[in-house]
Structure 1
Amino acid sequence: MLLGAALGAALLLAGSCHALQSVNRVGRYLYGADDGKRFYVKGISYQEQGLITGNDPTSFPEPGDFIDPLADSAGCQRDLPYLQQLGVNTIRVYSVNSSLNHDTCMSLLSKAGIYTIIDLSLPVNGSLDRVSPSWTTNLLNLYVETIEAFSKYDNVLAYNVGNEVAISNLTTVVGPFIKAAARDVKGTAYVALGLLLIKLGIFTLAYLKSKKFPQLVGYASVDAPDIWRLPFAQFLSCDNEATSIDIYGLNNYEWCGDSNFQAAYVGTENAFKTYNIPAYFSEFGCVKSPPRLWTEVQALFGPQMIDVWSGGLAFSYFPAFGGFGMVNISSDAKTVIVSDDFNRLKSQYALVNFTDNPTKSNAGTTNYSQCPAETPNFLASTKLPDTPNTNLCDCVLKSFSCLFTPQTPNYTYIVGDLLNYGCSQLGSLGGSCDTIASNGETGVYGSLAECDPTIKLSYVLSSYYEAYNRTPQSCNFSGNATINPSAPPTRTDAVKAAQSCLTATPASTFTPSSVPLPQPPGASTSSSISTSTRKGGATNNRVGLAGSEGIIGLGAFTLTSIIAGVWILL
């Protein structure tokens, strides 16, 4: 009786927090779980822009920080009436802080019938890197923490595992990492959904995994030429459900000024005519021919496009880089000043009527086709990286003899440069960084490619230290490294300890690689340090690039002689 009462109370608690119906994917469309009606995203991007750093090596500007709008209770209360004036049913938020409280904002939005699409990535080091992509323990943990923080809310429509990570045909090598992120987020989301019930000890993990996770997992793509945009989209939804995204977003700005469907959208419409999963415009609203008339709204939600697209999100509520934005906020953060842009979108959104076609019973099922083959314009391997294993990485770290211990708490900005420099120097010794490398084109991933960048750096620093026969001064790096007093006593012992971690630590898709003994300089059969070599010779991975100008924190460190072999873990 007590167990039954506890179970009933838990279910009542879970149910009482949910007012909005979940939105499910059926075939290539979205439907309300309760009313069975077709669901369209009619929304707006909702996030103040962080500071643009302007130092992205791809010349693709990214913010260096962010403001979590869903943690700003006063801001949500201020903005909600204006979101309601627009008549939106969805907002998109690009970065959130899982450690903050979002109850007030999420509750207000839920009561207003507004869903959220939440991007899981964070600026700088909290997202998949288009220059040196890898899928690592720190990213997986970050994504899962966000899902756990938002799992209690009924108005999360979807989680995006990435936004515009691939921006050219050369960067399509990020595809395997996006799919791996989707695979692992979908696998862990079951746990996040039932976090409360797990803590109460009522349901087992096996039970939770047997239930369908209601939130969708998606990706938002940059608009680009079809020669790579289309196979990339097909790649993200190919093969099977477990490794595919559930919903595809396209940031589309083709309709500018007083345009029309034939001039702006017909090409994109035809390109995605047979796409197999729900698709929507994750951003729209060109500013090249002001004023923005928003007449594309009637096309996007009209009969010409609803067979393929499930609505879209106007960009953006707040001012953003490039001249976007529909409101301004007063200096005291209390008053909203709307623009003509806002009023025109409001008028266009008011004209939208959702068409329940096809009906849920006629939507069919999702068909997963064979993944597209690699071409010179599409470079993604179908071999995905393993699920990152924190236990494995922590275990191997204990075998390292020289550990990264940065002098500054803001060390994330120097890790990439340190890896860059260290790997170039290992290459000059006849060594390699293949152990920590990821190559999305060939589908080859090193034994430690899944580890946190700081653990990868400790591997590189230890390789230097071992090359100097563990002389104390060779593990300093201008104060950024410390000798590990608990490390195995010799290089041979360290390699054996690392091997035991690789072979003993369980992982669902992990296959350990061999760990050869250290080789003397010049004896290595591979001196390549590139971790993501593109066709045509362009190498774009920080881990594998040579550091020609030195790096922060290593000015005092030089290689003057080699006493012993480089410790190489392959």
Structure 2
Amino acid sequence: MRASSRFAAGLALAGSFLTGVDAAIQTVTRNGRYLYTADGNRFYIKGVAYQEQGAVVASASNPFLEPSTFIDPLADGTACTRDLPYLQQLGVNTIRAYSVNSSLNHDSCMQTFSNAGIYTIIDLSLPGNGSMDRNAPTWTTNLLDLYIETINVFSKFNNVLAYNVGNEVIIQPNGTAAATFVKAAARDVKAYLNSIKSSALVGYASIDGDATWLDPLANYLSCDPSGSNSGAAAIDLFGLNNYEWCGNSTFEASYAGTEGNFAGYNVAAYFSEYGCITSPPRLWTEVGALFSSQMSPVWSGGVAFSYFPATSVQGQFGMVTISTDGSTVTPSSDFTNLQTQYAAASPPNSPSQSAAGTTSYPSCPQQNSTWLASNTLPPTPNFAACQCLENNLSCQFTPTTSNYTAIVGSLLNYACSLIGQAGGTCAAISSDGTTGTYGAVSECDPTIMLSYVMSEYYIANGANAQSCSFGGNGTVNSKAPSSASAANAAATSCLASATGASVPTLPADAPSATVTTSSSGSGSGSSNAASVVLADARTLMGMGVLVAAGIASGLWTIA
């Protein structure tokens, strides 16, 4: 692998730090708890977060100032070409992108970064409705399809290091039951990657927290719930968003506890975000510790946050400023300080790949007061089964507005409250990560859940057409079975195969991976500046629509 003379001195450090602009990028694989390039060198993630921040609306329900829209950082070839020299000056070998639009063209950016020896870690979720809801998590066909469509688009690129199935989904002990859905997502994404012979790793990025629930979370995501030492449901790469090192701290003061907690971890781990801003300027002295022999037995590097400016409750992150016209990059002292620290980092090239051993997948942690997740996972969402069910439902959701995501949750609440008042149940659409109980329809798209509940109410009211109206949002399906017994039999038949784990497949009518922008992928990127809307709106309608239904679950008679 050849490199420009400008960076020749830094390339002598280790095979993993190669950033040459002329050579083919090497495949990175995991052996035991370590990462290695194809030539057998230990690989350390020397990265930076690379995502412009979308629109942020501060509110009590958004304590982390998470964006409601996103700008795809890998769809603007001109911007990627503009930023490449600065990424090379930083000496990074990896960038992390938090949200990408599978309908856009990523060829220019991905090729630019591949030619420069820069890998990508791609988060599969999207802001808001394209991710698991922390308060009402589920794992359904629409979210699985969104993930797979993104993988399909990026699978042709040789510099995808990993896909993250979630970022900070679990943020406190009483939310740890959501881990069952994260683990199911990792299981299904891993199965799909294996089916297309992709070497990309499957990861999760966790918020830092108290060891009483963070340790079980890390162990749960890398454990084997079957007890057979199988890694089929285990992640390959655990990311920790860690901001403990502030100012000119020390390993003992900031990282010793975390290092000890992960000392026996069984898969690869890295800091998926780091860079405390509470003691400016950022000196980045934690880089020396993270890439030292003191931490290399556990950690495989990290991703500094953030290349672009990013606002948080703590203040302003960011290492560069982009001019209004998008043509000029101005680095800050954060940039130059990190550049200095990355240039000095020299992690050990050990253990050797042959000495790394194989991974052992232990049994999963048991439930307690701070760890609520069941070891029984949700089934793999089955689009064909859910489509079959929808076709046989007596009452179908036919919204009067194209922006139907705004009404699905309230209609689910309303329909379930009516059924509850009549002594019925909405258990078929409910999921419980604590008990490991998942209703037969809980893996389906929320619109199909709604059609199912509306049909239950319609049949319970003697197939009265008015009972299917729901404010004009429901229509009687003339092709559906007319009797309750026949309807139940049809539903049971459709869902008979939708149990357990399987290799996911895209629905036949899913949007293809063909691009909808110019083949060059260049431009101002303005078309990405707002919330993305794919051809199939159902694909983007995620778990957010179920929040209201979860809050109002007290109205339901759950069996």
TM range, smaller chain? 0.7 to 0.9
Alignment of 1:324-339 (within 5 A): 324-339=317-332
Match for residue 543 of structure 1 among 543, 549, 554: 549
Q: Report the alpha carbon displacement of residue 424 of structure 1 after superposing the two structures with TM.
A: 3.0
Structure 1 residues 391-434: Cα deviation after superposition (integer angstroms, max 9, x where no partner): 11011112212211222222223322322333233222222211
3-state SS of paired residue (1:546):
helix
Match for residue 179 of structure 2 among 171, 175, 181: 175
Query: What is the distance in 2 between the residues matched to 1:407 and 1:81?
Result: 50
3-state SS of paired residue (1:479):
coil
Structure 1 residues 108-162: Cα deviation after superposition (integer angstroms, max 9, x where no partner): 0001100000001111121122111111111111111111101111100000000
Letter matched to residue 238 of structure 1: C
Q: What is residue 292 of structure 1 aligned with on the other side? A: 282
Q: What is residue 19 of structure 1 aligned with on the other side? A: 24
Q: Report the alpha carbon displacement of residue 508 of structure 1 after superposing the two structures with TM.
A: 5.5
Scaled by the length of structure 2, the TM-score of the pair is 0.83
Q: What is residue 535 of structure 1 aligned with on the other side? A: none
Match for residue 401 of structure 2 among 397, 405, 408: 408
Of the structure 1 ranges 123-132 and 164-173, higher mean CA displacement relative to structure 2 is found in 123-132
Query: What is the distance in 2 between the residues matched to 1:492 and 1:180?
Result: 33
**Cα pair distance change 1:28/1:182, threshold 3 Å:** same
Q: Report the alpha carbon displacement of residue 224 of structure 1 after superposing the two structures with TM.
A: 0.5
Q: Does 1:232 align with 2:217?
A: yes
Contact 2:184-2:233 within 8 A present in 1 as well? yes
Q: What is residue 84 of structure 2 aligned with on the other side? A: 80
3-state SS of paired residue (1:91):
strand
Query: What is the distance in 1 between the residues matched to 2:127 and 2:417?
Result: 27
Query: What is the distance in 1 between the residues matched to 2:550 and 2:91?
Result: 49
Structure 1 gap segments, 5+ residues each: 1-16, 194-212, 511-539, 551-565
Q: What is residue 214 of structure 1 aligned with on the other side? A: 199
3-state SS of paired residue (1:367):
coil
Q: Report the alpha carbon displacement of residue 365 of structure 1 after superposing the two structures with TM.
A: 1.5
Query: What is the distance in 2 between the residues matched to 1:18 and 1:55?
Result: 47
Contact 2:398-2:475 within 8 A present in 1 as well? yes
Letter matched to residue 32 of structure 1: T
Structure 1 residues 446-485: Cα deviation after superposition (integer angstroms, max 9, x where no partner): 1111101110011122222223323222222222222222
Q: What is residue 8 of structure 1 aligned with on the other side? A: none
Structure 2 gap segments, 5+ residues each: 1-21, 225-229, 503-545
Q: Report the alpha carbon displacement of residue 355 of structure 1 after superposing the two structures with TM.
A: 1.4
Query: What is the distance in 2 between the residues matched to 1:373 and 1:21?
Result: 39
Alignment of 1:421-436 (within 5 A): 421-436=414-429
Q: Does 1:120 align with 2:110?
A: no
Match for residue 303 of structure 1 among 293, 302, 310: 293
Q: What is residue 9 of structure 1 aligned with on the other side? A: none
Contact 2:45-2:270 within 8 A present in 1 as well? yes
Match for residue 50 of structure 1 among 54, 59, 82: 54
Q: Does 1:281 align with 2:255?
A: no
Q: Does 1:67 align with 2:57?
A: no
Alignment of 1:519-534 (within 5 A): none
Match for residue 141 of structure 1 among 117, 141, 145: 145
Computed over aligned residues only, the root mean square deviation of the Cα atoms, in angstroms, reads: 2.2
Q: What is residue 223 of structure 1 aligned with on the other side? A: 208
Alignment of 1:262-281 (within 5 A): 262-281=252-271
**Cα pair distance change 1:105/1:290, threshold 3 Å:** same
Contact 2:248-2:283 within 8 A present in 1 as well? yes
Query: What is the distance in 1 between the residues matched to 2:240 and 2:405?
Result: 30
Query: What is the distance in 2 between the residues matched to 1:458 and 1:128?
Result: 21
Q: What is residue 321 of structure 1 aligned with on the other side? A: 311
Letter matched to residue 478 of structure 1: G
Contact 1:424-1:545 within 8 A present in 2 as well? no
Q: Report the alpha carbon displacement of residue 74 of structure 1 after superposing the two structures with TM.
A: 1.0
Contact 1:298-1:348 within 8 A present in 2 as well? yes
Q: What is residue 159 of structure 1 aligned with on the other side? A: 163
Q: What is residue 433 of structure 2 aligned with on the other side? A: 440
Q: What is residue 108 of structure 1 aligned with on the other side? A: 112
Query: What is the distance in 1 between the residues matched to 2:243 and 2:404?
Result: 37
Query: What is the distance in 1 between the residues matched to 2:391 and 2:342?
Result: 58
Letter matched to residue 467 of structure 1: A
Query: What is the distance in 2 between the residues matched to 1:276 and 1:25?
Result: 11
Query: What is the distance in 2 between the residues matched to 1:157 and 1:349?
Result: 20
Letter matched to residue 407 of structure 2: I
Q: What is residue 344 of structure 1 aligned with on the other side? A: 337
Query: What is the distance in 2 between the residues matched to 1:508 and 1:432?
Result: 23
**Cα pair distance change 1:24/1:74, threshold 3 Å:** same
3-state SS of paired residue (2:392):
coil
Q: What is residue 501 of structure 1 aligned with on the other side? A: 494
Q: Does 1:457 align with 2:450?
A: yes
**Cα pair distance change 1:41/1:509, threshold 3 Å:** closer
Scaled by the length of structure 1, the TM-score of the pair is 0.82
Q: What is residue 132 of structure 1 aligned with on the other side? A: 136
**Cα pair distance change 1:185/1:355, threshold 3 Å:** same
Query: What is the distance in 2 between the residues matched to 1:95 and 1:274?
Result: 32
**Cα pair distance change 1:136/1:26, threshold 3 Å:** same
Q: Report the alpha carbon displacement of residue 507 of structure 1 after superposing the two structures with TM.
A: 5.6
Query: What is the distance in 1 between the residues matched to 2:60 and 2:452?
Result: 26
Contact 1:50-1:63 within 8 A present in 2 as well? yes
Q: Report the alpha carbon displacement of residue 278 of structure 1 after superposing the two structures with TM.
A: 0.5
Q: Report the alpha carbon displacement of residue 269 of structure 1 after superposing the two structures with TM.
A: 0.5
Query: What is the distance in 2 between the residues matched to 1:370 and 1:508?
Result: 19
Query: What is the distance in 2 between the residues matched to 1:184 and 1:509?
Result: 8
Structure number, greater radius of gyration: 1
Q: Does 1:248 align with 2:238?
A: yes
